[in-house]
Amino acid sequence: TVDGQHHYLLLCTDVWYGNPKNLGNTDGIIILTLDTRAHRVMLTSIIRDALVARTNEEGKEGIGRINYVAKTTGPEHLCQVISQHLNIKLEKYIIFDFDKIQKIIDARGGVDITLDSSEVEYLRRYAIRRGTTPALSRPGLYHFEGHPAVIYMRIRKASGHGDFMRTQRVRNVLSAMADDCRSITYDEAKELVNVIVENNVMTNMNLEEMLEAMDYAYGLKDCTIEELRIPKEEDASPISYAGMSVQEINWAGCREDLAYYLQNSFLVIDDEDE
């Protein structure tokens, strides 16, 4: 545990309407880090098809895809798996589905997203005819309502790089929402907490803990949003395992990357203090 850093696991199930008693695969996996000492906000995404060591439903040790863990053995176990693989203390989680995500985006009035030509072509093929301003036509900046924003986050077969690029799109939306919140008032921040409380599939955070996280975030609202993807492309090898296409991960390299990412700011703080 690094002093002043608070980690929260944000998950999204691969369904429009999630059921806490029968979770879908958690294809969206983001660690939100609020660093109140070094004044940083960090988003770390983890690809959905990474192989991890985990305990299965029968209680036996084995390996499997990371996006199956919460579904089969619960989100608390996923927190433990990620903590052990990345060497951080991760205990708090919030799970959303696509419907909840779009409602949260709409509650903030939408989000601005810059599209490239292949993303525009994909979304037009997906019959996105409403919900963007202006209407989709060419590469550029668009204002998205919640529903098309969710479709954008789910794009995998556009711009190349598959799931690696999809995790970037999720971070793009979260960063844009964070940018929108830079001018938020304290009362508006509390209202956003209420929206999140009303629009999640399940969480182990109570209202007091959510308000505490809001206080951390509110104090950091002027920070630049920093991003990291786990793993880097050179730390992932596509293989077939148990009949599935998965990524074998160099977790030692990922731990080094995350440790440097999280702790580098403390070296800066220490230098400034001197």
Q: Residue 42 is encoded by which pair of tokens?
A: 């960090």
Q: What pTM, to 2 d.p., does this model score? A: 0.87
How confident is residue 85, by pLDDT bands cut at 50, 70 and 90?
Answer: very high
Distances in whole angstroms, Cα of residue 162 to Cα of each of 20, 24, 100, 159 = 28, 21, 24, 8
| Nearest Cα to Cα of residue 89 among 47, 145, 31, 144 | 31
Summarize the confidence of residues 12-22 as an average pLDDT.
91
How confident is residue 273, by pLDDT bands cut at 50, 70 and 90?
Answer: very low
Choose between 166 and 258: higher pLDDT. Answer: 258
State the Cα–Cα distance between residues 152 and 149, nearest whole angstrom: 5
Q: Residue 77 is encoded by which pair of tokens?
A: 């176990």
HSE toward the beta carbon, residue 198, CA cutoff 13 A: 10
Q: What is the Cα gyration radius of the chain?
A: 19
pLDDT tens-digit profile of 73-84?
Answer: 999 999 999 999
Q: What is the pLDDT of residue 129?
A: 67
Summarize the confidence of residues 12-33 as an average pLDDT.
92
Neighbour-count burial for 250-271, b at 16+ CB within 10 Å, e otherwise: ebeebeebbeebbeebbeeeee
How confident is residue 265, by pLDDT bands cut at 50, 70 and 90?
Answer: low
State percent of the chain over pLDDT 90: 63
* Residue 198, amino acid: E
pLDDT tens-digit profile of 124-144?
Answer: 887 676 889 998 889 999 999
CB 133 within 8 A of CB 143: yes
State the Cα–Cα distance between residues 247 and 69, nearest whole angstrom: 15
Q: What is the pLDDT of residue 9?
A: 97
How confident is residue 271, by pLDDT bands cut at 50, 70 and 90?
Answer: very low
Give me the torsion for CA of 70, 64, 49, 66, rounded to 10°.
30
CB 137 within 8 A of CB 117: no
